[in-house]
Amino acid sequence: MSASREKKQRQGDGLSEKQRREAEEAQKARSKKILYTVIGIVCAVLVIALLVWNSNFFQRRTVAATVGDKQYTVGDVAFYYNNAKQTIRNYANYGLVTYNASLADDQQTIDDATAQNLSLYVGLTAEAGQTYAQFFQDRALEALQNEALLCAAAAEDGYTLSDAGKQSVEESVTSYKQSATDYGYTLAAYLRAVYGPYMTESTFREHLTNSTLASEYAQHYQESLIYSDEELTAYYQEHADTMDTFDFRAFYISGAPAAKTDADGNTVEATDEEKAAAMGLAKTQADAMLRRLQDGEAFNAAAKDYAAEDAKANYDDPDYNRQTRLGSAVASYDYAEWLTDSARKDGDVTVVESSSGYYVLQFHGRWLDDTTHYSADIRHILVMAETGEPVQNEDGTTTTPEPTEEQYAAAKAKIESIQAEFEAGDRTADSFAKLAETYSEDPGSNTNGGFYKVTQSTSFFADFKNWCLDEGRQSGDLGVIQNTQSSQWGYHLIYFQDWGPLVWKNTAQSALSSADTNAWIESRMPSYPTAAVEKGMAKVIG
């Protein structure tokens, strides 16, 4: 380019040489700023991604299992995997299983004794030689399958979680929050400590709710199954040996050798010869006692001669040592087969060997108890007695003093006035229920008409429970019972509404409905096949 042309061009853009240099520097600065901004954005994205990754956001969404066409994440599976794990840790604390919490689950296996104990005492199937990781995985898949099919069945039936179920979920969450506080954790951190790094409160709550609904609906389904008297009788006839009541005597003669210690006081195990000799002596004594019974001697008179010195006096009572027990309660004893033999008759005697001694037995009879009821439906009203002011203890706690006689008397007078009000009306269960909702101070029943179903296993105090389950009770009976339990001081007015089923019928009903419910659940399982996803399951196992 010629100098004149270059000059014209410079004149044409209107910029001096200095201005052009400044413009070029500014352009370079803008380019550099844009570059740094882009780099900064990229770095920020990387930092955010790293933070998200470290929070396990992506990992906990990794699929670890499928049930039917539904996918379950690492967190979902971890809920049930770690529940199974905690159960085993509890059993290990009691010596029922061998499990080392400090070892990885896939680095320790189930031994023969553990497999047998889980089957015998807990009803869980475990294979000897199986790793605990596989065992926990199997339990988790079973639980997810159970949750899925029962929640689906509940939805089909229009069944939703009851208020009691919702309350149970909230109480469990509250309990976990309290445990977290006690250990200095937040709830989120505590859940991760218990269930692994992928657990969140929302996942925990979801499966706690679902498992509660599943359990509740299974119970609802079972209780909906009704059986005729013919079906209940047929069940009894097939299971009479466990449902009948047996009247008998049993005297045990130990075949264990006397304990020995060495010079240092350590126990010395008996030799095989000593063990055999002790069993031989026990058999000789058992056979001798049997012959005396066969000759007509009274059972306790014969047993006294073989009893320990400090127990001999007990056998002077002719009724001592006579047992009345359900067949199910003696089914595990070595003499069960002899006792339940249909050929048994009153007065039969025998000797039965056990692993460490001999039983001498006398049979008196067997029958089906068709008079004892399993439960009673009652309503009650509780009037609490007033108490004095709480007393401050030295340790900072307070103790509420028991009511005085005058305070008890005032509570009794009030309960009697409520009774008079009831008896002045139509004396029906409905009218009693209205009075219970008006006057009762029992928070567990004053919103449902004071209703309770009382059984022998119900945790009420003895006087209350004994009144309710007295076989002489009739519908409409009224009773006034004093309650002297701490924090429950006062008086109960009880209305006996009706008897529940007889014990044997309840046993048959429960067994049949349980079996049919399990069969119904199993029939739905093919629609909910389970499968572990290796990548996600590895994160669960850890």
Give dist(CA 227, CA 230) in Å, integer. 8
Largest interatomic CA distance in the chain: 151
Distances (CA, A) of 46 to 7, 40, 61, 62: 51, 10, 20, 21
pLDDT value of position 17: 56
Give the pLDDT band of residue 187 (cuts 50, 70, 90).
very high
Angle at 101 between CA 97 and CA 107, to 5 degrees: 90
Distance separating alpha carbons of residues 374 and 453, to the nearest angstrom: 10
Residue 51: pLDDT band with limits 50, 70, 90: very low
**Tens of pLDDT, residues 109-132:** 999 999 999 998 888 889 999 999
User: Residue 480's closest CA among 376, 382, 407?
Assistant: 382
Checking DSSP bridges between strand 530-532 and strand 391-392, what pairing results, if any? Answer: unpaired
SS (H, E, C) 293-322: HHCCCCHHHHHHCCCCHHHHHHHHCCCCCE
Q: To the nearest 10°, the Cα dihedral for 496, 498, 500, 501?
A: 130
Burial (CB count within 10 angstroms: exposed 0-12, middle 13-18, buried 19+), residue 18: exposed
pLDDT at position 528:
98
Three-state DSSP at 329 gives helix
d(CA 393, CA 69): 62
What is the average pLDDT score of the chain? 90
For residue 358, with 0-12 CB atoms within 10 Å meaning exposed, 13-18 middle and 19 or more buried, which class applies?
A: buried
Q: If you search the block for the tokens 């657990």, which residue do you land on?
A: 199
Percent of the chain at pLDDT above 70?
89
Q: Does residue 46 carry a pLDDT above 80?
A: no
pLDDT at 7 over 80: no
Query: Over 90: is that where the pLDDT of 463 sits?
Result: yes
Determine the Cα–Cα distance for residues 33 and 39; give it in Å rounded to an integer.
10
pLDDT in tens, 18-42: 555 555 565 655 555 555 554 444 4
Q: Stretch 88-117: mean pLDDT, rounded?
A: 94
Q: What pLDDT is stored for residue 21 in this prediction?
A: 59
> Residues 145-161, buried b or exposed e (16+ Cβ, 10 A)?
bbbbbbbbbbeeeebeb
470-513: pLDDT as tens digits = 999 999 999 999 999 988 999 999 999 999 999 999 999 999 99
Average pLDDT value for residue range 83-89: 95
The one-letter amino acid at 276: A
405-423 and 429-439 are packed helices; what angle lies between their axes, rounded to 10 degrees? 140
> Helix, strand, or coil here: 86?
helix
pLDDT digits (tens, 9 = 90+) for 301-312: 999 999 999 999
Alpha-carbon torsion (423, 424, 427, 429), positive or negative: negative
Q: In the beta sheet, which residues pair with residue 391? A: 399
Give backbone dihedrals phi and psi of 475, rounded to 5 degrees, phi first.
-55, 130
Q: What is the mean pLDDT of the segment spanning 257-267?
A: 83
In this predicted model, what pLDDT tens digit does every residue of 148-177 receive, in sequence order? 999 999 999 999 999 999 999 999 999 999
Does residue 196 contact residue 78 with C-beta atoms inside 8 Å? yes
**Across 19-23, 405-409, 512-516, least confident range:** 19-23
Residues 323-339: tens digit of each pLDDT? 999 999 999 999 999 99
d(CA 520, CA 150): 10
310-to-14, 82, 222, 254, 265 alpha-carbon distances in Å? 127, 51, 51, 16, 25
Residue 333 DSSP symbol: S
Is a pLDDT exceeding 50 seen at residue 52?
Answer: no
* Cβ neighbours, 10 Å, residue 270: 16
Task: Give the pLDDT score at 453.
Answer: 96
**pLDDT value of residue 8:** 43
| pLDDT at 367 (0 to 100) | 98
Q: Work out the end-to-end distance of the chain between its first and last CA atoms, rounded to an integer number of angstroms.
A: 75
Distances (CA, A) of 528 to 67, 84, 136, 236: 5, 21, 19, 35
- Res 25: pLDDT: 60
Do the Cβ atoms of 314 and 307 come closer than 8 Å?
yes
What is the C-alpha to C-alpha distance for residues 508 and 440, in angstroms, rounded to an integer?
Answer: 36
> Rounded to the nearest 10 degrees, how much is the dihedral formed by the CA atoms of 109, 112, 115, 116?
-170
Residue with tokens 């003696």: 330
- Both structure tokens of 304: 């006294």
Looking at per-residue pLDDT, the higher value among 29 and 539 belongs to 539
Question: Is residue 138 pLDDT above 90, yes or no?
Answer: yes
Is pTM beyond 0.75? Reply is: yes
User: Could you give phi then psi for residue 111, rounded to 5 degrees?
Assistant: -90, 175
Closest of 83, 73, 50, 86 to residue 198, by C-alpha: 73
Total Cβ atoms within 10 A of residue 201: 15
Contacts of 346-349 with CB under 8 Å at 24 or more apart are 349/290, 349/293, 349/294
pLDDT band at 16 (very low <50, low <70, confident <90, very high): low
pLDDT at 213 exceeding the cut of 90: yes
Let me know: does 227 contact 513? Beta carbons within 8 Å.
yes
pLDDT at 295: 97
